[in-house]
Every structure is written in C-alpha cells, then in structure tokens.
C-alpha cells in the first residue's frame, strides 16, 4: 500500500509540475507579446481584425444565392476570367478567396477567410500587414489571396453543360494558340531552309497537322452546336 501511495503522489506531483510549467510558458509568451506590441503602431494592431472588412461587405456568393436554389461548386484553378451572371440556369463567377492568419495578444491563433467578388479582389491592407516585418515577428501575420471560379447551377444537367463548355472553350483557345504558333514557326523554317527538301517536308507536315487540329476543333464545335444550339450562348 505504501508503494502504491508513493507512486500516486509521484504521478500527481509530476502532473502538477507540468501544469505549472505550461501555465508559466503561456504567461511568459503573453507578456512577451504584450511588451513587443507596445512598441508597434496601435493603428496597425487595430487593422488586424478589420483588414478583410471590404471583402466581407462585397461577397462573391451572397446569402440570396444560397437560399434561391443554386447548387454551388468551386474550381481552384479558373479556366476562364470571364463571368456570366445573367443566366437563370448556369452562372460562372470569378471570386477572390482571402485568408488572413495571426496570433492574438492572448496567444490564440485566429484565421479570417472571406470570398470577395471580382471588383473588390484582394485586400491591400492585409497585404501590407503581411509584409510588415514587425507585425510578422510579433503576431505571425500571414496573408494568402487567390482567384477561384464559382459555378452556380440549377441542376445536374446545367452543371454538366457548364463544365463541358468551360473545358471546351479553354481547350479551344489553347489548341488554336498552339496551332497558330506551329504554323508561323514552320513557315519561317521553310523560308530559311535553303531549299533542303527534308526540312521543307518536315515543316509542311507540321503545318498540315496543325490545320487538321484546327479543323477537328471546329468540327467538334459544330457537333456541340447541333446537339445543343444554346451551347455557346453565354
């Protein structure tokens, strides 16, 4: 019994000592932050909680959108910078997601995230705070802002049509750009080939393949238009 009592007392003593160390560390950190913060501009400290107020007041997705029957999804890498807010079945919007993180004076980490519309964009105030060495050192301020695409649809069919349309327009622009560049470069190579039949033949082959790719692109567009005449209507 005596051995068990000693073990219990030893465990309790260890727990108590651990709690004292943790509390002292937290108190020391809080005191250090308070001392450091005293040397900072009070206006900067007040900006931490209000840095994303403009983004909050101009949301990309409103409460009305969420309550009006829209199915909402996001694409992290926008396929297009264009927006369509007029359709009653499918809409695309360019949003800016701002995330501000910092350590409060009491040592607790705080994260503020806002999804702003295209007009408001990123927060200049938050960017300035994240680039301020004193604020970063004292409050561990970090800020991230990136463009994402929001797709709002009234049903599954609208979603499928929207995704296919976005991917097609993105691919069409990319293929058209590459094909045009290949044709131009190959034409220049023919001009400077010096009459070498092998080089001319290779350049002509690339030009023909590029033209074939453009033809396939237009034919696929014609097929999509035949299936759904409103496919290219934005």
Pairing relation of β-strands 142-153 and 109-116? unpaired
DSSP string of 123-158, one letter each residue: -HHHHHHHT-HHHHHHH--EEEEEEEEEEEESSHHH
- What are the boundaries of each domain within the chain? 1-39, 42-154, 158-227
pLDDT tens digits for range 166-191: 777 777 778 888 888 888 888 888 88
Averaged pLDDT, 19-29: 49
User: What's the burial of 169, exposed, middle or buried (CB within 10 Å: 0-12/13-18/19+)?
Assistant: middle
- Side-chain-side CA neighbours of 175 within 13 Å: the count stands at 17
pLDDT at 46 over 90: no
Instruction: Supply the pTM of this predicted model.
Output: 0.59
114: left (phi over 0), alpha (psi -120 to 50) or beta: beta
Strands of the sheet with 71-75, listed across from one edge: 71-75, 142-153, 90-103, 109-116
pLDDT tens digits for range 94-108: 999 999 999 887 778
> What length does the chain have?
234
Residue 89 contacts residue 153 (beta carbons within 8 Å): yes
Mean pLDDT over each residue of the chain, to the nearest integer: 77
Q: Identify the H or E element spanning 46.
A: helix 42-50
Residue 151 contacts residue 83 (beta carbons within 8 Å): no
pLDDT at 38 over 80: no
Residue 27 contacts residue 35 (beta carbons within 8 Å): no
Q: Identify the H or E element spanning 44.
A: helix 42-50
Radius of gyration (Cα) for the chain, nearest Å? 30
pLDDT tens digits for range 200-223: 888 888 888 888 888 887 787 777
Q: What local confidence, expressed as pLDDT, does residue 219 receive? A: 81
Q: What local confidence, expressed as pLDDT, does residue 53 receive? A: 94
- The set of residues, in sequence order, having a beta carbon less than 8 Å from that of 82 and lying 6+ positions away, is 92, 94, 234
């Amino acid at each position: 019994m005596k051995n068990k009592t000693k073990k219990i007392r030893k465990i309790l003593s260890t727990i108590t000592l651990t709690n004292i160390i943790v509390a002292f560390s937290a108190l020391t950190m809080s005191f250090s932050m308070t001392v450091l913060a005293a040397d900072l501009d009070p206006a900067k400290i007040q900006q931490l909680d209000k840095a994303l107020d403009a983004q909050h007041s101009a949301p990309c997705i409103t409460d009305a959108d969420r309550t009006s029957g829209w199915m909402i999804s996001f694409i992290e890498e926008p396929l297009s910078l264009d927006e369509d807010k007029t359709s009653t079945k499918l809409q695309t919007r360019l949003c800016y997601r701002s995330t501000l993180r910092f350590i409060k004076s009491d040592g607790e980490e705080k994260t503020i995230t806002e999804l702003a519309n295209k007009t408001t964009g990123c927060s200049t105030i938050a960017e300035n705070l994240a680039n301020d060495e004193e604020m970063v050192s004292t409050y561990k301020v970090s800020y991230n802002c990136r463009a994402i695409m929001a797709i709002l649809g009234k049903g599954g069919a609208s979603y499928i049509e929207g995704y296919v349309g976005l991917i097609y327009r993105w691919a069409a622009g990319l293929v058209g750009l590459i094909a045009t560049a290949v044709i131009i470069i190959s034409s220049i190579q023919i001009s400077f080939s010096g009459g070498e039949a092998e080089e001319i033949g290779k350049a002509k082959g690339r030009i023909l393949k590029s033209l074939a790719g453009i033809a396939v692109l237009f034919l696929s567009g014609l097929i999509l238009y035949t299936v759904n005449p409103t496919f290219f209507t934005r």
